[in-house]
Structure 1
Amino acid sequence: MRLDKFLKVSRIIKRRTVAKEIADKGRITVDGKTAKSSTDIAVGNKLVISFGNKTLSVRVTSLKETVKKDEATQLYEIIAEDFKENFK
């Protein structure tokens, strides 16, 4: 499954176009390597996603084409969630 589709189906990122944009800017790594939106994802991969002030690390536990909203969290396991504080 493509990275951008997985992020949308799992609801880590709500829209596929936004997931594609973030991936193509180099803000997502898969098993330590910078990933593009077309990168294939497999069960067991570790994803690190850098949002504005947050970094989310997850492990892929399942791949499905579609899931209901309440089942989306079963597709991944959160490893770490780091917040950067901005002091200005």
Structure 2
Amino acid sequence: MRADLYLKYVNLVARRVLSKSFIESGNVLINDKIAKPSSQIKDGDTLTIYMGNTTLIIEASIKQEGKKILVGGTVIDKLERGIYQC
């Protein structure tokens, strides 16, 4: 499945056009490699997604049952960047 479609189907972006520009900005890595909107995501791939001060690490889940394709993902880690006072 294309990376831009995957981000849309798991509701990380509202539209495919936004997904495309988000990926082209270098905010998505697939298995630690910079993604393109047309990059293929397979079941079990690890996605690193930079969203502002938050970094999401997701394991992709893509299953085909007949004509249906089930798309999802499991958040492995969520990292927040910020300024912390001691």
TM-score (norm 1): 0.80
Cα 1:16–1:63, aligned 2, differ >3 Å: closer, same or farther?
Answer: farther
Is the helix fraction higher in 1 or 2?
A: 1
1:62 equivalent in structure 2:
62
Over the matched positions of the two proteins, sequence identity in percent amounts to 27
Is the strand fraction higher in 1 or 2?
A: 2
C-alpha RMSD of the superposition: 2.1
**Could you say which structure has the greater relative contact order, defined with CA pairs below 8 angstroms and 6 or more residues apart?**
1
Residue identity in the other structure for 2:12:
I
Deviation readout 1:22-60 (Å, 9 max, x if unpaired): 111111100010001110110010000001111111001
Q: Contact 1:42–1:63 at 8 Å: present in 2 too?
A: no
SS in 1 for 2:62: coil
Q: Contact 1:6–1:63 at 8 Å: present in 2 too?
A: no
Cα deviation, residue 17, structure 1:
1.4
- Structure 1, unaligned runs of 5 or more: 68-73
TM-score (norm 2): 0.82
2:4 equivalent in structure 1:
4
Give the whole-Å Cα distance in 1 for the aligned partners of 2:78 and 2:33.
Answer: 19
Q: Number of matched residues?
A: 81
Max Rg structure: 2
